[in-house]
Amino acid sequence: MPVALKTGEVLRGRYRICERIGQGGMGNIYLADDLRLEGRRCALKEVEHDRTVPAKLLKEARQQFLHEATVLARLDHPNLPKVSDYFSIGPRDYLVMDYIPGKDLRLRMLDAKQSNFFLAEEEVLSWANQLADALTYLHNQTPPLVHRDVKPSNLKITPNGMLKLVDFGLVKALVPDEMTVTVIQGRGTALYTPLEQYGGDGAHTDVRSDIYAFGCTLYHLLTNNPPTDARERFLHPSSLPEPRTLNPVISSRTERAVLWAMELHPDDRPPSIEDLRKFLIGTRELPPRPLGSIRPKNSLLQLIRGKPEKILLWVSVGLLVISLVASLIP
């Protein structure tokens, strides 16, 4: 874990550290005063790369961070914090963005759970509509950007009711050869991570990975219960309770849309956030349930007949699951 910066420390003669407001395996997030713009507070995302890797790879990682930071700095959307600066000091890189005050949706959901009630479906869907706006904007960039860490704690509601999708820590740009380039290496949060995102390089992730996390986020907010993670669902397909068994007030349409977004196989999910939004808010009819029946029971045979890259993806997933099971056997 990188050593935290001290309160009062000034970076680049401009950003004075107020406090640490988040931390992770590769760095910290700080609240800072912008000394050049009086009264402005910002969030500094710190990244310290693994210095045990070969020098060439470390250089490439830092060049990659700076390149992707320029991409993020060009983004301008009301549901995204604005990235205003990026720089390096010694072995650490920094991304400067708007500080978003207010509670995140994880805390709001926990407050509701502790008070023995559920967040109102209408309110959750209004947040979902704003989140869909942000993700559609990211996915429509050239090249498309995939957030890869959509979850309740990365969604904040400002005092005026605006939703903000924060933390660009794992954003990836899909380049023309369909490989992905990482801003900051990571895998996301297990509860909201689809199977195809496991493996580290993220070569098989695309916009449908954000759709899966979007569905898991709505599931958690509507039921006060975390979704079963994808690996457990792969091993035990019936391990995910349907939302209305946990919160009977949820509409059938919302339940079906959420479960559609959470399909394990990317091809079974909505092809875009806009498609999901149309089903979720009721402007288009949903596909018939059970949605899993879209993929017949002989899906293994279909997979064998499919594209080589899909075969490799699901073989790698199978090997990952086998290795996880083996590691648990004494």
Tokens of 237: 């397909």
Query: Which residues, in sequence order, are CB contacts of 102 under 8 Å at separation 6+?
Result: 156, 157, 158, 159
Query: Which residues, in sequence order, are CB contacts of 260 under 8 Å at separation 6+?
Result: 215, 268, 269, 270, 276, 279, 286, 287, 291
Task: Give the integer Cα–Cα distance in Å for 171 and 148.
Answer: 6
Beta bridge partners of 222: none
149 is catalytic: yes
- Give the type of residue at 247: N
Catalytic-labelled residue, pool 133, 149, 167, 210: 149
Annotated catalytic residues are 149
